Amino acid sequence: MSKFTAIFFDAGFTLLNLSAGLPERCAEVAAEFGLSPDQAAMQAALPLTRAYLLDNSRLPNDIFASEAKVRHFWDGFYGLVLRHGGVAEHHLPSLLDRLYVHNNSSAGWHLYPEVLPTLIALRQRGIGVGVVSDWGVDLLEHILVPLGVADHCDFVISSAVVGLSKPSADLFHLALWRVGLRADQVAYVGDNYVLDVLGARSAGIEGVLIDRHHQMSGRPSDCRVIHSLTELLPLVV
């Protein structure tokens, strides 16, 4: 990777992690409305949410290409959990509104511990940094600015703002155009093989998969796999 002059990053689960577990977050919001969903049942629904995410990662994919599509995706995601927790249908609209606002604020997310040190170290080495993410229109101002990420980025592209979503090659071509670089000068780091690795590859960019929980251990892979962003640093000096 020493040939690369910039690294682009996905946001969710690459730079950002949820500020609370999914059942806990749903329970906290439900409590604001005087409701007490079954947290054990919501915990048991987590495999279904992973299947939901996988199903929505299939090609072709434009589910994050507008704010309305982003909202539809997250309503389905959180609605799945809340229904399993026993929340009645007539309560869902208010809870989903509140969850969407929370999901698009810095209160809903925190940075993985190595994020800011890694971004700072990359910039000190003269490596360009950008964020290219499937997200709604609030990613930059309501999340990345308050959490301090934006201070260390050359640009941020949110899919809903530009009308393109991963794994579209056009989204990655737009990012290259923003910084005036060729595809072979850039690597892209993300946590989703289909959307991030294959998406970047479709534009000629090398995709790097971050596998924080070692789920790829022992499995064959046709891409570089890292477990922490700190692993990028020895590869760019």
User: What confidence score (pLDDT) does residue 76 get?
Assistant: 95
Distance CA(150)–CA(81), nearest Å, equals 31
Whether 100 and 160 share a structural domain: no
Q: What is the DSSP secondary structure assignment for residue 230, as one 8-state letter?
A: G
Instruction: Indicate whether 136 and 218 sit together in one domain.
Output: yes
Tell me, what's the pLDDT at 1? 45
Amino acid at 65: A
Residues 76, 11 share a domain = no
107: tokens are 């209160």
Relative to beta strand 16-18, strand 109-111 is antiparallel
Cβ count near 31 (within 10 Å): 11
In a domain, 1, yes or no: no
Instruction: Considering only CA atoms, give the Rg of the chain.
Output: 18
Instruction: Read off the CATH number of the domain in which 62 is found.
Output: 1.10.150
Residues 89 and 140 occupy one common structural domain: no
Of 81, 107, 133, the last residue of a domain is: 107
Residues 135 and 173 both lie in one domain: yes
Q: Is residue 170 a part of any domain in this protein?
A: yes
The 3-state secondary structure of 157-223 reads EEHHHHCCCCCCHHHHHHHHHHHCCCHHHEEEEECCHHHHHHHHHHCCCEEEEECCCCCCCCCCCCC
Domain count, the chain: 2
* Digitized pLDDT (tens) for each residue of the chain, 237 residues in all: 457 899 999 999 999 999 989 999 999 999 999 999 999 999 999 999 989 987 877 666 788 999 999 999 999 999 999 999 999 999 999 999 999 999 999 999 999 999 999 999 999 999 999 999 999 999 999 999 999 999 999 999 999 999 999 999 999 999 999 999 999 999 999 999 989 999 999 999 999 999 998 887 777 689 999 999 999 988 776
Q: What is the CATH number of the domain that holds 151?
A: 3.40.50.1000
Structural domain including 103 reads 19-107
pTM score? 0.93
Other Cβ atoms less than 10 A from the Cβ of 198: the count is 17
H-state helical runs in the chain: 22-32, 39-44, 46-55, 67-84, 92-103, 115-124, 159-162, 169-179, 199-202
Check if the beta carbon of residue 153 is closer than 8 Å to that of residue 139.
Answer: no
